[in-house]
Amino acid sequence: MARPDQASSRGSRRTFGQWLETWVEWHAQALLSSLGKLLRQPMGSALTIIVIGLGLALPGALHLVLVNAEQVTENIGRSVQLSVFLAPGTEASQAKALQQRLEDRNDVLEAKLVSPEEGLEDFRSVEGFAEALSALEDNPLPWAITLRPTHGLDAPELTEALAAELREIEQVDLVQVDTDWVRRLASILDLLRRAIEGAALALGIGVVAVAGNTIRLDINARRDEIEVVKLVGGSDAYVRRPFLYGGFWYGLGGGLLAWLLLWGASWTLAGPVEILATDYGSAFRLLGPDALAATATLLGGPLLGWLGAWWSSSYHLRQIEPKP
Partner 1 sequence: MILFDAVHKRYPGGREALVDVSFELARGEMSFLTGHSGAGKSTILKLVALLERPSRGRVVVNGTDVSTVRRRGVPAFRRQVGMVFQDHKLLSDRPVFDNVALPLAISGTPRRDLDKRVRAALDQVGLLGREQGFPQELSAGEQQRVGIARAIIARPPVLIADEPTGNLDPDLAMEVMSLFRRLNEVGVTVLVATHDIHLIDRLGTRRIHIEGGRMADGSDDGAS
Per CB under 8 A, residues contacting partner 1 are 1-5, 7, 11, 18-19, 21-23, 25-26, 29, 224-225, 227-236, 238, 322, 324
Shortest spacing between CB 267 and partner 1, in angstroms: 43
Shortest spacing between CB 241 and partner 1, in angstroms: 10
Query: Judged by CB, which is closer to partner 1: 2, or 135?
Result: 2
Shortest spacing between CB 235 and partner 1, in angstroms: 4
As a dihedral over the C-alpha atoms of residue 115, residue 116, residue 117, residue 122, rounded to 10 degrees, the angle is 90
Q: Beta 82-86 vs 108-114: how paired, if at all?
A: unpaired
Query: Judged by CB, which is closer to partner 1: 3, or 283?
Result: 3
DSSP states of 265-298: HHHHHHHHHHHHHHHTT---------HHHHHHHH
Q: What Rg, from alpha-carbon coordinates, does the chain have?
A: 34
For residue 175, the cross-strand partners are: 84
35 by Cβ neighbours in 10 Å (0-12 / 13-18 / 19+) ranks as: middle
Q: What's the rounded Cα separation, in Å, for the pair 188 and 34?
A: 45
Q: Which uninterrupted H or E stretch holds 318?
A: none
Q: What's the rounded Cα separation, in Å, for the pair 144 and 142?
A: 6
Q: What's the rounded Cα separation, in Å, for the pair 324 and 321?
A: 9
Angstrom distances, CA of residue 43 to CA of 47, 70, 177, 208, 255:
6, 40, 60, 20, 18
Shortest spacing between CB 270 and partner 1, in angstroms: 48
Shortest spacing between CB 324 and partner 1, in angstroms: 6
Query: Judged by CB, which is closer to partner 1: 160, or 236?
Result: 236
Shortest spacing between CB 229 and partner 1, in angstroms: 7
Shortest spacing between CB 323 and partner 1, in angstroms: 8
